[in-house]
A and B are shown apart, each in its own frame.
Chain A
Amino acid sequence: MNPSYYVILAAILFTIGIVGFLVRKNALVVFMSVELMLNSCNLLFVTFSRVWGNLAGQAMSFFVMVVAAAEVVVGLSIIVMIYRARRSASVDNASLLKF
């Protein structure tokens, strides 16, 4: 089994995540793009764990999942609050945090 397929897949997923993060306006989609990037990293963790025969990578992917889940909870609630306040989930509209 060639690990490079997995690495390439992870790279593709990560790139999709980046592009989605940069071009989409909807906060939910942006959020999903971020999750995609996280999961592409998880995939790499698992892959290399397998390659090196070391379980630490797999354990790390669980950590990432837990953190991601916690983050989703906080992030989603923020998005919901923003949506309630502005009737819009566009990230460009929430641009008040500046000088």
Chain B
Amino acid sequence: MLLTILALVPFVGGLVVWFLRGATSRYVGIGVALATFALSVVVAAQHLGGANLSEHHLWIKAFGAYYALGLDGMGLLMVLLTTVLVPVVLLAEPADETGRWGAHVKVALVLILESLSLYVFLATDVLLFYLFFEATLIPMYFLIAGWGGAKRAKAAVKFLLFSLAGGLVMLFSVIGVGVSYASQGAPSYLLEDLAKLNVTPSVEMLLFIGFFVAFAVKAPMVPVHTWLPDTAEQATPGTSTLLVGILDKIGTFGMIRFCLGLFPDASRLATPVIVVLALISILYGALAAIGQKNLLRLVAFTSVSHFGFMVLGIFALTTQSISGSIFYMLNHGFSTAALFLVVGYLAKRRGSVQISDFGGVFGKAPVLAGLLLLGGLASLSLPGMGSFVGEFLVLAGTWSRYPVIAAIAATGMVLAALYILIMYQRTMTGPVTEQTEKHITTDASWLERLAVAPVIVLLLLTGFFPKPVLDQTDQTAKQTMTTMNISDPVPAAGKEGK
């Protein structure tokens, strides 16, 4: 029951907030989000204490669909990521009455989105997962379309069409999986049952591709990434945080849970192609980020690059790289949140997110500049930040199987330093420009600092003490390796001799 309660609290809260007005709605919203966070901590404690929280009810008998929820290491981390980011976003963004609907609607939509995302991470039934996978698009569509830049409606449609197209391809595979399984016995959509699915290699490959395409759109991989920069540019930074921090994680989450979990043989076969695609994403995203003139687009492209690292880690198929990839998923959420939110603070003051509109901000608002630098350092994976551990493990794990690929991917680290530091230099350093003097009149307020603080503290904590988190990622990684029936490369120069 606990998991259902966890997932439903923000939903009910969202409905309540819908009928509130003014500042109350925001306070109640933050309260609900914090309560959800508290609840997720309870869930985590129970789960780590060994309690079995999974739920299991028959939903549609003819299809073998169940209302089945459960937690594993990766799921737990994603749940926590969600419940942390939502209150942070609600805190960081002031009540926004400039949108198409009232500010209370936005808060309500965010909470409903949280609920649906939690369901996505908790579902252990493929049909249930698919249902919520698609359902998350609804609040997200309205969040993008309702608040943000002038061309937001267009961006929202682009986002929706990309996601729907991916989702449609996935639906074929979902149906295919169900039908194939039903032909072998009693129909079931439960993950544990489908793992036993036995189909011919070509069918398995088709089903795999269906899932992978949908997840590749979600975790924006080149070349199906172009919706992300447009969306991030038009949506509010808070919405972008939720989008990139949580929703896009469904992509990589799904690759591990469904692609690797359900189709081990097809995954192994597809590995070379996907690894190369991931490599392209890493370099392409980084290079494109260097060339951006708009802060929000820049952050979006850094994410394309980072997602490339995650996918690379997943399909390098070693315990370390998968574990590192999950770890990176968590920390990428934090680091992008920091970047997006601070850019949001800047945009609020300056009324623009063009890099050329800033300059010398450090001279006027050192704390803002410092926060941006911290977010940037996390994004370029500085040791001491959690993102470093993730990237390091992804690359090290990949190296143990494909040294050349890992070496090429590692150049992404240099490019990361370039895109962050060039951006920082152009916006924050140098003499205070006239425009900066005029617009950037206040440094970060206490509320703004308070909103970003948890994210940065978590980045540092997971950077210096990653082991508790790695225990969780390792659990999923090892389980995946077992399912795939694959083992880590053995150290070549052990004590046995040359």
Contact, chains A and B (beta carbon distance below 8 A): no
The interface of chain B, by Cβ under 8 A from chain A, is none
The interface of chain A, by Cβ under 8 A from chain B, is none
